[in-house]
Amino acid sequence: MSDPKIPTLTLHNGVRLPALGFGVFQTPPDETIAAVEEALRVGYRHIDTAAAYGNEREVGEAIRRSEVDRADLVVETKVWASDYGYDETLHAFEKASAKLGLEQLDILILHQVAANLFDRTIDAYRALERLLAEGRVRAIGVSNFPVPRLTQLIDATEVVPHLNQVELHPYFSQPELQDFHREQGILTQAWSPIGGITFYPGWGGEDRRSTLADPTIGEIAAAHGRTPAQVMLRWHLQQGRSAIPKSVTPSRIAENLAVTDFVLSDAQLAAIDALDTGTPGGPEPERDFDDRQLFPIPEA
């Protein structure tokens, strides 16, 4: 599946995936092919993209150029809210699979709650259930869903989401949501796992603090001879989460995968847990979607 040292996680329907994936959020299409090719070359076997990223086609091209056996690769993508609705989401699958060049997708999830369109969100998830039943996708889930919305979704549908991809890093670790996931058998999947949202250009306020510069994380990194990013990814692995780091720099792509030959102590894990501020760095999940957010996803 991936580097044998990278642990694998098992979804509640038996589908397995590497605990570390490779993300392409904000990666321009003209840089995506090279980044994904490099990720596959160094050992990543889980690639995470989304219709809204505008680079599914390039992810597919990188996969085609690689020598990785399709059976060893987990490909995950997301349906954008403008394609919510039963028939619309079935068509969104067709668009995504055509761009990726794959007849079957490993993981297909809903990208946002879209609070003012939640009836359409439920219908979209029912379409995912159909795709799952027909074998066109192997696992389904959601992204950025808080506990109340997960509860609504579970009550209205048949298949408990296999995973929920959410903002999760040392400054925003969402312990209550993680507890709910464990109770329901939902895998917690972290976007911004090294706190990228705390240092991405254009995100956050002037008083934001970068996780990469956090003294506690820095002290733990120095003790292990590692980088702060590696320490944060190790924190995710040891606590059983799926984490999706991203980079277009070859050295960092490899560095983010090299986190299997050291172990954080219980005290170090607790020290990182204690950094949680309870304040997200990303968009508010419970927000309405207007015409600006409901931009059309191009056809394949």
Q: What is the DSSP string of 46-101?
A: EEE--GGGT-HHHHHHHHHHS---GGG-EEEEEE-GGG-SHHHHHHHHHHHHHHHT
pLDDT band at residue 4 using 50, 70 and 90 as cut-offs: low
Show contacts of 83-86: CB within 8 Å, 24+ apart.
Answer: 83/51, 83/124, 83/297, 84/110, 84/114, 84/117, 84/120, 84/121, 84/123, 84/124, 85/120, 85/123, 85/124, 85/127, 86/123, 86/124, 86/126, 86/127
Of 44, 53, 84, 171, the active-site residue reads 53
| DSSP 8-state class, residue 161 | P
pLDDT at 225 over 80: yes
- What is the residue-averaged pLDDT of the chain? 95
| pLDDT for 206 beyond 70 | no
Quick one: which H or E segment has residue 242? strand 242-244
102-111, 161-170, 275-284: least confidently modelled range: 275-284
- Gap between the Cα atoms of 237 and 9, Å rounded: 10
Task: Check if 200 is active-site.
Answer: no
